[in-house]
């Protein structure tokens, strides 16, 4: 039967002109898996997922389903055990009377259908879906940590007993240094609100959220996660839980729970499986309570070095060349949220070795790194960027990181420090690389000293990466390509976002850095001394190999990493 089924699928795919017969037979012949499992065709790029599903549905007379647009009732998880769902790659989608419909990556798995029929005593009807969508739906339906959140997301109960339980004091005893968010830690004997907070944080980390926003409103509390730069609403808490949840978070962050009139900042650390994640917490009093924003700072993202940030080879080579210099100033510029600090931390992680004395002055200290001396500014007692830098020079540093150059005094000390044998890393808020030179001169830095110290400037933006599961080909009009000065090489294809379960319908999964990398050479030094305008410096750099932010982004489009629309969103006209 397997051989006849194999031949039938081959004929269907060839008849529909979905794939070349010879290529298909080669893949199926070399596959060691079940001949009905054609997922390897998609993985090898021989056919699109939707085309494969369409052909299989037509030939096997089994209806398809787009799980990405289907809301599954959580109660169905009680009918099909998670172990069986994962083993057979299936997920229940609906139950009507004595009929249970299940979405399957392999709808002809008779053993799975028989086992499910025996278990549920229901008539099981299969529908076909992609393996990626089935796996994502299983993950959504059987999240072991979602229980506390789902319970609290329900409308308020009139039961006095339930209300009393939810409002009991959430925290007692001494505050722990690190909160354990392993499944065993959440399921243990903890107060209900503690479990809710822990589950919320764990779910946010699994969703790859960089920030968690708790926003009290008139009738409830909205919770949003920032994923790949965009805020997505996760769920809402009943108003009755607001005080308990915010109090729990403020205790974890070691804030003053008796002060509700002033903004406060704190931090805490959680352990998830084999990694630890720091959270920076900000509490802000608003009309309906205290809004709390928690930023996740995962040090595991920094230990990889510059190679894993996603830079193109030319930009990476320029950055590495600058980092290898024995002294000088390296600047990363861009607006807030463009990943400047993360890039510099990645440089520090790469340079961090026993033979180097590395010191940082920051406001605030975001990532706490072993082996590096980190100082947080405190203007209230006179510990400013400039004062800390003066003290650093008496500590014989090899590498100095200044979180941000905000004034002329800090800029002047940083420039002079880079001339006395140190590598100085810092950030500025400018739109492109060349403008940072003018900005420093305007702050009062001597152009001659700046030309001698500055070795590299990078303007940076963060670009969202297309979800590999659902991105689709895009046809861009020739006049648009001409306007962008983008030549599409033979065989290259542009892509756009679509949206699926894997990417939570956003069409994107992860972000990467695009860089306008400018190495300072002798002609640029002469232009700095002569106080040439930034557009002339930029024109020279582009003429000698530097790509602008938009050009860099369009190169990533040609690699299929992002869309033209996304590049236009994060870069300006040039």
* pLDDT, tens digit (0-9, with 9 covering 90-100), for 112-147: 888 888 888 888 888 888 888 888 888 878 764 455
Paired tokens of 46: 């021989």
Apex CA 43: angle with CA 41 and CA 44, to 5°? 65
What's the average model confidence in pLDDT over 176-187?
50
176 pLDDT tier (thresholds 50, 70, 90): very low
From start to end of 198-288, where are the E strands?
211-216, 220-227, 230-238, 264-272, 275-286
**Which tokens belong to 554?**
């369009």
Going by pLDDT thresholds of 50, 70 and 90, the confidence category of residue 157 is: very low
d(CA 161, CA 468): 48
Contacts of 29 (CB under 8 A, 6+ apart): none
pLDDT tens per residue across span 85-119 = 888 889 998 888 788 889 988 777 788 888 888 88
What is the chain's mean pLDDT, rounded? 82
What residues contact 374, with CB distance under 8 A and at least 6 apart? 359, 360, 362, 365, 368
Instruction: Give the tens place of pLDDT for each residue, 23-74.
Output: 666 665 655 444 445 556 666 666 676 777 777 777 677 888 888 777 788 8
Contact 460, 334 (CB under 8 A): yes
> What pLDDT is recorded for position 33?
45
Give the pLDDT of residue 554.
93
| Predicted confidence (pLDDT) at residue 211 exceeds the cutoff of 50 | yes
Q: How confident is the model at residue 162 (pLDDT cuts 50, 70, 90)?
A: very low
| Percent of the chain at pLDDT exceeding 90 | 28
Evaluate whether 465 touches 553 at the Cβ level (below 8 Å): no
What is the per-residue pLDDT across 288-320, written as a single tens digit (0 to 9) for each?
A: 999 999 999 877 666 556 777 778 899 999 999
Q: Model confidence over 340-361: pLDDT tens digits?
A: 888 888 888 888 888 889 999 9
Q: Which residue has the tokens 């596959």?
A: 31
pLDDT of residue 151: 54
Q: What are phi and psi of 178, to 5 degrees?
A: -125, 130
Q: Return d(Cα 106, Cα 60) in angstroms, integer.
A: 11
Cα(386)–Cα(372) distance, integer angstroms: 19
Q: CA 182 to CA 145: how far, in whole Å? A: 10
pLDDT above 70 for 265? yes
What is the predicted pLDDT for the residue at 171? Answer: 38
Dihedrals φ, ψ of 226, to 5°?
A: -95, 115
Contacts of residue 159, defined as CB under 8 A and 6 or more positions apart, other chains included, come to none
Q: What percentage of the chain has pLDDT greater than the value 70?
A: 82
442 confidence band (pLDDT: 50, 70, 90): very high
pLDDT tens-digit profile of 218-227?
989 999 999 8
The lowest-confidence range among 25-39, 105-119, 411-425, 462-476 is 25-39
**Mean pLDDT lowest among 69-78, 488-497, 524-533:** 69-78
Tell me the whole-structure pTM to 2 decimals. 0.67
Evaluate if residue 254 carries a pLDDT over 60.
yes
Q: Is the pLDDT of residue 506 over 70?
A: yes
Question: Is 50 exceeded by the pLDDT of residue 393?
Answer: yes
Residue 85's nearest CA partner among 108, 64, 106, 63 is 106
Q: Would you say residue 388 has pLDDT above 80?
A: yes
Tell me, what's the pLDDT at 291? 94
Residue 236 has pLDDT above 70, yes or no: yes
CA 233 to chain centroid, in Å, comes to 16
| Cα–Cα distance measured from residue 159 to residue 177, given in angstroms and rounded to the nearest whole number | 36
């Amino acid at each position: 039967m397997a051989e006849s089924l194999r031949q039938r699928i081959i004929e269907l795919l060839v008849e529909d002109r979905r794939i070349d017969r010879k290529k298909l037979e080669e893949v199926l012949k070399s596959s060691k898996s079940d001949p009905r499992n054609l997922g390897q065709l998609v993985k090898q790029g021989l056919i699109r997922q939707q085309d494969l599903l369409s052909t299989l549905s037509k030939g096997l007379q089994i209806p398809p389903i787009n799980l990405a647009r289907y809301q599954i009732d959580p109660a169905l998880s009680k009918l099909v055990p998670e172990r069986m769902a994962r083993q057979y790659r299936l997920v229940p989608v609906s139950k009507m009377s004595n009929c249970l419909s299940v979405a399957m990556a392999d709808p002809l798995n008779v053993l799975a259908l028989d086992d499910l029929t025996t278990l549920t005593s229901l008539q099981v009807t299969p529908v076909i879906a992609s393996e990626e969508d089935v796996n994502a739906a299983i993950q959504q339906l059987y999240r072991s940590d979602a229980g506390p959140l789902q319970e609290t997301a329900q409308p308020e109960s009139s039961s006095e007993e339930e209300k009393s339980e939810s409002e009991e004091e959430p925290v007692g005893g001494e505050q722990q240094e690190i909160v354990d968010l392993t499944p065993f830690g959440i399921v243990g004997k903890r107060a209900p609100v503690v479990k809710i907070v822990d589950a919320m944080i764990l779910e946010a980390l699994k969703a790859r959220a960089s920030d968690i926003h708790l926003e009290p409103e008139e009738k409830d509390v909205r919770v949003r996660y920032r994923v790949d730069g965009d805020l997505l609403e996760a769920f809402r808490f009943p108003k009755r839980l607001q005080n308990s949840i915010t109090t729990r978070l403020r205790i974890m962050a070691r804030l003053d729970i008796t002060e509700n009139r002033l903004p406060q900042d704190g931090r805490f650390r959680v352990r998830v499986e084999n990694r630890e994640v720091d959270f920076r917490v900000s509490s802000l009093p608003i009309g309906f309570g205290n809004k709390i924003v928690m930023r996740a700072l995962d040090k595991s993202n920094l230990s990889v070095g510059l190679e894993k940030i996603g830079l193109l080879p030319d930009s990476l080579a320029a950055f590495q060349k600058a980092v290898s210099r024995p002294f000088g100033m390296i600047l990363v510029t861009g607006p807030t949220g463009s990943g400047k600090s993360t890039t510099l931390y990645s440089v520090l992680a790469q340079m961090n070795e026993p033979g180097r004395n590395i010191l940082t002055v920051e406001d605030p200290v975001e990532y706490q790194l072993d082996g590096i001396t980190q100082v947080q500014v405190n203007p209230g007692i006179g510990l400013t960027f400039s004062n800390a830098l003066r003290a650093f020079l008496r500590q014989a540093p090899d590498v100095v990181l200044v979180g941000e150059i905000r004034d002329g005094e800090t800029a002047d000390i940083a420039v002079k420090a880079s001339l006395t044998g140190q590598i100085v890393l810092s950030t500025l808020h400018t739109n492109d690389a060349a403008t940072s030179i003018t900005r420093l001169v305007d702050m009062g830095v001597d152009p001659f000293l700046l030309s001698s110290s500055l070795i590299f400037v990078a303007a940076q933006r963060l670009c969202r990466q297309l979800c590999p599961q659902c991105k689709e080909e895009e046809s861009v009009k020739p006049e648009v390509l001409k306007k962008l000065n983008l030549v599409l090489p033979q065989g290259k294809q542009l892509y756009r976002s679509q949206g699926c379960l894997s990417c939570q319908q956003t069409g994107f999964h992860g972000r990467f850095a695009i860089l306008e990398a400018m190495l300072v050479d002798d002609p640029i030094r002469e232009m700095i001394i002569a106080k040439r305008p930034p557009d002339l410096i930029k024109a020279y750099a582009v003429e000698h190999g530097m790509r602008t932010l938009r050009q860099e982004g369009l190169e990533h489009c040609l690699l299929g990493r992002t869309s033209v629309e996304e590049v236009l969103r994060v870069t300006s006209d040039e």
